[in-house]
Amino acid sequence: MTTVHHTSVPLTRTQKSAGHQASLIVQGADATGIVAALASLLSTHGANIVSLDQYSDNPQGGAFFQRTVFGLDGLQAAVPALRAGLDEHLVKKYGLRYTLRDMSVPKRVAIFVSKSDHCLLDLLWRHRQGQLPISVAMVVSNHPDVAEEVRGFGIPFFHVASAGPDKSAAEAEHLRLLKDNVDFVVLARYMQILSADFIEQVGVPIINIHHSFLPAFIGAGPYAKAKERGVKLVGATAHYVTADLDEGPIIEQDVVRVTHAQNTADLMHRGADVERAVLSRAVLWHAEDRIIRNGNHTIVFT
């Protein structure tokens, strides 16, 4: 979503008339004067910049990335004029793309899961604690195992079986559930491969947690491979899903120390701790518009 040309994310839901904050992500070819044009425009509308992060990957002819969070009384009413100004001063003049989003409206997410519940429960627990500014629209699984637990959190659970090599029926059902309902999808240890067609049709960012320190141990069974190779650290990687399996832009990674005395099951247990921590951070940063995709990389303003 962050790379969509003046995106259509609605600024319409629950916001009140005062004290709102919005995020503004801008990216494109770098040029002198962009920051000034942007800050000036916001100032003209009475916006107070709360946080600003800027990055240029090369001061001479590189790419420009900026995340601005600003407060503005009467944000909703001001949006049309703000968009008109951004179109005029950033898009037309500098050829930049932007995303403007009312941060008081949490992003809606669908969480996909198979049997392992550690990543799912960590997200649901953090959400309940108020640590994650998201709205969990649903949990979807190819197994019924976690249904009761999910519903205990007051969240809809959908079981969509996915047996056999032909995933088209399951994916059609997934699309019916997701279409226009969610802003992003999280694969919280969902052990099914998504088709390129599904990824394109769903049309929202998909975050996956891979249970290894990518690009080491790509594919299935990474902990067994790690044990076999005798590594001294195991890790996890959160990344955006693309049609290339395990090759999408990396959002976050971390590792934990293991020893010769730990077997593959132990590695899985230690690794699960890293998986849930890494995925939670990726979801938080995505929810707060801290991640900008640039080709197969991410800019993460933490």
Secondary element (H or E) of residue 199: helix 196-202
Contact flag: residue 53 with a copy of itself (CB under 8 A): yes
Q: Which 199-238 residues touch a copy of itself, going by CB under 8 A?
A: 213-217, 229-233, 235
Contact flag: residue 181 with a copy of itself (CB under 8 A): no
Contact flag: residue 120 with a copy of itself (CB under 8 A): no
For the bound state, the minimum distance from the C-beta of residue 258 to a copy of itself, rounded and expressed in Å, comes to 10
Structure tokens at 9: 């994310």
Closest CA to 277 of 218, 237, 244: 237
- CB 119 within 8 Å of CB 275: yes
Contact flag: residue 56 with a copy of itself (CB under 8 A): yes
Whole-number Å distance between alpha carbons of 111 and 189: 10
Closest CB to a copy of itself among 50 and 220? Answer: 50
Point out which span in 25-33, 80-88, 169-177, 188-196 binds a copy of itself (CB under 8 A). Answer: 25-33
Q: Which 62-91 residues touch a copy of itself, going by CB under 8 A?
A: 66, 71
Closest CA to 121 of 108, 111, 133: 111
Closest CB to a copy of itself among 20 and 174? Answer: 20
Contact flag: residue 259 with a copy of itself (CB under 8 A): yes
Whole-number Å distance between alpha carbons of 104 and 101: 9
Kindly report the number of other CB atoms within 10 A of residue 49's CB atom: 14
Of 10, 46, 95, 219, the one binding a copy of itself by CB under 8 A: 46
Whole-number Å distance between alpha carbons of 130 and 88: 38
Q: What are phi and psi of 153, to 5 degrees?
A: -90, 0
Q: Which 146-165 residues touch a copy of itself, going by CB under 8 A?
A: 152
Spatial neighbors of 130 by CB under 8 A, at least 6 apart, are none
Contact flag: residue 273 with a copy of itself (CB under 8 A): yes
Three-class SS of residue 234? strand
Of 10, 12, 29, 51, the one binding a copy of itself by CB under 8 A: 51
Of 133, 143, 254, 264, the one binding a copy of itself by CB under 8 A: 254
Considering the candidates 246, 254, 266, 273, report the single residue annotated as catalytic: 246
Please give the angle made by the CA atoms of 43, 2 and 16, to the nearest 5 degrees. Answer: 55
Contact flag: residue 299 with a copy of itself (CB under 8 A): yes
Structure tokens at 83: 């968009």
Strands 157-159, 134-141: pairing is: parallel
Catalytic residues: 246
Binding site for a copy of itself (CB under 8 A): 30, 32-40, 42-43, 46-57, 59, 66, 71, 118, 121, 125, 129, 131, 152, 213-217, 229-233, 235, 249-255, 259-261, 269, 273, 277, 296-300
